Amino acid sequence: MGRPDVETFRRARKMPVVLVLDNVRSLNNIGSMFRTSDAFAVSEICLCGISSPPPSPEIHKTALGAEESVAWRYFESTCEALAFLRGQGYTLCALELTHNSVSLDSYEPSATGRYAIVVGNEVDGIAEDAVAACDVCLEIPQRGTKHSLNVAISASLALWHFFTRLELSSKD
């Protein structure tokens, strides 16, 4: 299939997007987000709070080795990670439904920007202080009875959105 090996992938150009996990409790969800981050060449994953870092058999079960190819770092708190990323020039995007959230399908990232997408805990979402630290809240349009999707699915949709916008704009 022409896929790079881990070392080649690590050296390859990445999408200017970091995925921030705010107290994600499920190791299977964490592994799934590693795998999606590998697929879309995410720059890095920031694991925060109770979000367990690799190595872990449970993470590996869904990551299928992506925990080895995707760069990651751990922060005690999500706000600490967000302050670090802001200092690096990232636009902080909470994937959270709020009164002022912007529909993901209408959000257009700039080809010259750097973005951190924050996803939250499976039950409680993103902590209020982390939401307050973000520049924009993005929501995934939904029509069903539930107010949210699984965090790994939500992260995948958001990363796909950024991937298609940033990849298309880099070809102009």
At residue 67, what are phi and psi to the nearest 5 degrees? Answer: -70, -15
CATH of region 6-170: 3.40.1280.10
The confidence score (pLDDT) of residue 125 equals 96
Above 90 in pLDDT, residue 170? no
d(CA 28, CA 33): 9
The confidence score (pLDDT) of residue 167 equals 84
The confidence score (pLDDT) of residue 110 equals 96
Q: Which residues of 122-145 are buried (b: 16+ CB within 10 A; e: fewer)?
A: eeebbbeebbebbeebbbbeeeee
For the whole model, what pTM was predicted? 0.96
Q: How confident is the model at residue 85 (pLDDT cuts 50, 70, 90)?
A: very high
Q: What is the pLDDT of residues 32-75, one digit of tens each?
A: 999 999 999 999 999 999 999 999 999 999 999 999 999 999 99
